[in-house]
Structure 1
Amino acid sequence: MIEILAISGSLRAASTNSALVAALARNAPPGCHVTVYGGLGRLPIFNPDDEGERTPQEASVLIDAVTQADGVIVSCPEYAHGVPGGLKNALDWLVSRDAAVEKPAMLVHASPRSLFARAALTEVMRTMSFALCEDVLEIALLGKKPPEVENILAEPENRLAMRDVLSAFAGFIADR
């Protein structure tokens, strides 16, 4: 069983990115299990003085989850042409750890307009030594209300696209 950790970079209750990672978890193909990380809003602000024995519990939960996962999927909104602070903070907690080094990762998108955040996130994750999969999933959910989002994510072609990208990512993980 391939274990994948999915992280939404949004803290909004009606986040399209969170809806997308939840849908990925529901549509995982056989042999693939997706767990959605829900602690982004509870992470303390990264401080290098709080590493090692002083690592806060919630940061340890994230570090352990990334370490134990076979791969990581990130769905990230764009704020002011960049990566939201909460997601960047989570990644900062991983910088001096081995959790990210050569960890297979893939980006998925709920908005076709998040080009600046995609580029910034790709740069950050490559700098951290994540092994980025070139396969990408984009389902345009921007500006949709929760019932519309759920209907779009339930469409057969989108469910198939989610299964296909997860299968491709599982293959990427297995080939490493």
Structure 2
Amino acid sequence: MKIIAISGSLRAVSLNTAVLHAAGRLAPAGVEILVYEGIGQLPFFNPDLDGERLPRQIADFRNIIGTADGLLISSPEYARGVAGVTKNALDWLVGSFEFPNKPVALINTSPRATHAQAALTITLETMSARLVKDASITLPLLGTVNDADSIATNPEFAGPLRSALEIYVRALRAIAEEELHSEQFTK
């Protein structure tokens, strides 16, 4: 099973990116979590470029999303909203065939970042994502100095993160089973 993780932070030392790398270390057996590193290189969304003029970075991004069983997103809150790079990446997926019904779980690294989380939820639901709310968590990382290793080894953070990942993977398997039965039923 492959999960693509997207950090909405471009910072060199980012708790959002660190928590996604920690998730990769805590993933259940047989699950690979790959952090997408190209979010900062995606061009600004322009609907005129969708279709035949689609930039190569966007075609590659959509292909990566299409091959994933699910997405894990962790994005900071800037000025009570979703980080611009996160929204830009999602905007490029709106017109794609790869994203609708994609299972998504959210990791919030700050209990105070409620506005961005709410806006991100609305955006994802509007885009026809299958938001797995039981696997979406908030970890109290704001104001801490942590990297992926310290998050993955600290029981205060690793326990809830591991539990959320287990819930998410169960949901992904249930969705895959549901889709398999649906395909067999329609044949």
TM class by shorter-chain length? over 0.9
Per mean C-alpha deviation after superposition, the further-off stretch among 155-164 and 90-99 is 155-164
The within-5 A match list for 1:39-58 is 39-58=38-57
Question: Does the CA-based 8 Å contact 2:108-2:138 persist in structure 1?
Answer: yes
- Residue 137 (structure 1) aligned with residue 137 (structure 2): yes
Partners of 1:99 and 1:15 in 2: CA distance: 28
Unaligned runs of 5+ in 1: none
Q: How many residues align?
A: 174
The amino acid that maps onto 2:64 is: A
**Identity rate, percent:** 43
Question: Does the CA-based 8 Å contact 2:26-2:152 persist in structure 1?
Answer: no
Partners of 2:174 and 2:145 in 1: CA distance: 38
Map of 1:89 onto structure 2:
88
Partners of 2:22 and 2:151 in 1: CA distance: 10
Residue 69 of structure 1: how far off its partner (Å): 0.2
Map of 1:35 onto structure 2:
34
Question: Does the CA-based 8 Å contact 2:3-2:68 persist in structure 1?
Answer: yes
Shift >6 Å, 4+ stretches: none
- Residue 174 (structure 1) aligned with residue 170 (structure 2): no
Please give the secondary structure, in 2, of the residue aligned with 1:106.
strand
Map of 2:62 onto structure 1:
63
> Larger radius of gyration, structure 1 or 2?
2
The amino acid that maps onto 1:9 is: G
Unaligned runs of 5+ in 2: 176-187
Residue 18 of structure 1: how far off its partner (Å): 0.5
Map of 2:124 onto structure 1:
125
Question: Does the CA-based 8 Å contact 2:22-2:151 persist in structure 1?
Answer: no
Q: In angstroms, what is the RMSD of aligned CA positions?
A: 1.5
- Residue 8 (structure 1) aligned with residue 7 (structure 2): yes
Per mean C-alpha deviation after superposition, the further-off stretch among 55-64 and 109-118 is 55-64
Partners of 1:95 and 1:11 in 2: CA distance: 22
* Partner deviation per Cα, 1:44-79 (whole Å, 9 max, x = no partner): 001111112211121122111111100001001100
